[in-house]
Amino acid sequence: MQLFRENAETVLGRLEKHLADHSIRGLELTDPAHLTKAARALMKAEGEGPAPFDEDRLAAIVDLYVRTGIQVHSPGYMGRQFSGVVPLSGVVDFVSSVVNQPSSFYEAAQLPSVAERIMAEELNRFIGFDPERFGMITTSGGSLANLTALLAARNRAFPGYWSRGGSAVRGPEAPAIAVGADAHYSVSRAAGVMGIGEDRIVRLPLDEHYRIDTARVRPVLEEAERQGLNVFCLVASAGTTPTGAFDALDELAVIARERNLWLHVDGAHGASLLVSDELRHKLRGVDQVDSLAWDAHKMMFVPGPCTLLFYRDGAMARGAFRQTASYVFDEQPDIYTALDSGDKNFECTKRPMIMTLWVLWAIYGKSLFADKIDYLCRLTREVHGILEKQPDFETLHEPDANILCFRYRPEGVREEEIHELQVNIRNRVKSEGRFFISKVDVDKVAALRVVMMNHQVTTEHVQMLLGEIRKAGQAR
């Protein structure tokens, strides 16, 4: 126990120093060979028996770990969709690691299993599914949640597919999935994993706001049908990765009902807006969808991964995987096995990821999340306004949430040079090590992209970033 305390105190001191550092830091990439050498230098030489605890060695390892990662708590971090965490959630994650309670089965993780049900009920108040029918499971990441939902959709449409594979599909019609053109790559990856194939992805056109153009969905689906594609699922987005766009869920739900399609929403990034009174309308119609993926490790500010997969009809969750295994699935259901989720998710050994979210919700309530989300989305709108007034910048869309894409376009730059200029700017800004931003192709031309995930960021920091961008752009 003394050794445990010494370990914890050493790490705690390093993390306190890290969290107290509010300097502007981006990403400093280290040559992998140099980092490997540094890491090996911290390893104890082989000897007989375990080496005694070395506090200095542990402190150096933690320092190296912290220093070489993306600085998610720094005002210079504006580049990705994973967030700096509320520190308490990290403490809870530490507890989970020590007590080690895999949470797919109630007997192994009693409180996490109950907390999962509680959070399902709490968050469903904002979704609006029938409280007597809906279901929710947790899973490791939005990609796995999307795959799981698509499996449930496919197995509903083609009941024999799980046991007999593609031979279960009779006739010339091939199973297909319809998605927005900006859907996350995990959806097409899922199509490959499921044996449907990327060639059977029906890409739905976008409107000028980079949302699925609902006026053109029906003709595209009709054309797919004429080509022998049997579309069984439509995937919409609540916060696309490139631009943060929110598809019109209420309008897509009407189309899905007309054609008996499963409507899945990849809300990995944007579903968290449901807890905001100010922004909830972005997901109007979410109560009419069949399934919803929601990453808490994005806009709910907990460690990754922590993903929630909701079903409007909880019975459909059992359709994703159809298996028996006497060593885990009980023959005689009871009040305890009723909280098992192993038959509904891909993972058998699964981290009790819900605990990081539930503890924050239990102690601070909804307002903690809503206030942070409202601030970050408001900040992004303010940044859009700042850029609109800059003659050498071009904004590409009005932000739906906390993602904004723009380009640096000074006078004298030819159109054919714009793409390479943005790529070079992003790389130079990153190499400078003060700010970390990302880039994405919008309309096949590179754009700079900021994602506001850190409430330490202010418009003052953004003005500093624009100065760095101008400096990088003029160095070409």
Written as six digits, the tokens of 365 are 């309530």
pLDDT exceeds cutoff 80 at 321: no
Of 9, 13, 68, 11, nearest to 38 (Cα)? Answer: 68
- Provide Rg for the chain, Cα atoms: 24
Mean confidence (pLDDT) of the chain: 90
pLDDT at 245: 96
Per-residue pLDDT band for 475 (boundaries 50, 70, 90) equals confident
pLDDT at 327: 46
Q: What is the 3-state secondary structure (H, E, C) of 182-209?
A: CCCHHHHHHHHHCCCCHHHEEEECECCC
pLDDT exceeds cutoff 70 at 297: yes
Of 470, 434, 426, 424, nearest to 450 (Cα)? Answer: 426
pLDDT exceeds cutoff 90 at 259: yes
| Residue range 86-136, pLDDT digits in tens | 999 999 999 898 888 888 777 778 899 999 999 999 999 999 999 999 999
| Residue range 423-435, pLDDT digits in tens | 999 999 988 888 9
| Residue range 359-408, pLDDT digits in tens | 999 999 999 999 999 999 999 999 999 999 999 999 999 999 999 999 99
Mean pLDDT of all residues in 264-278:
97
Q: What percent of the chain has pLDDT over 90?
A: 64
In whole angstroms, give the CA distance from residue 131 to residue 134: 6
Nearest 5°: the CA angle 191, 196, 202 is: 70
Written as six digits, the tokens of 176 are 């297909």
Q: What percent of the chain has pLDDT over 70?
A: 95
pLDDT at 360: 97
Q: What is the 3-state secondary structure (H, E, C) of 238-282?
A: ECCCCCCCECCHHHHHHHHHHCCCEEEEECCCCHHHHHCCCCHHH
Written as six digits, the tokens of 361 are 């919700």
Mean pLDDT of all residues in 264-274:
97
pLDDT at 443: 93
pLDDT at 137: 93
> Residue 404 — φ and ψ, nearest 5°?
-140, 130
Per-residue pLDDT band for 194 (boundaries 50, 70, 90) equals confident
In whole angstroms, give the CA distance from residue 310 to residue 324: 23
Burial class (CB in 10 A: 0-12, 13-18, 19+), 406: buried
Mean pLDDT of all residues in 303-317:
93
Of 293, 286, 280, nearest to 251 (Cα)? Answer: 286
| Residue range 148-175, pLDDT digits in tens | 999 999 988 888 777 667 666 765 678 9
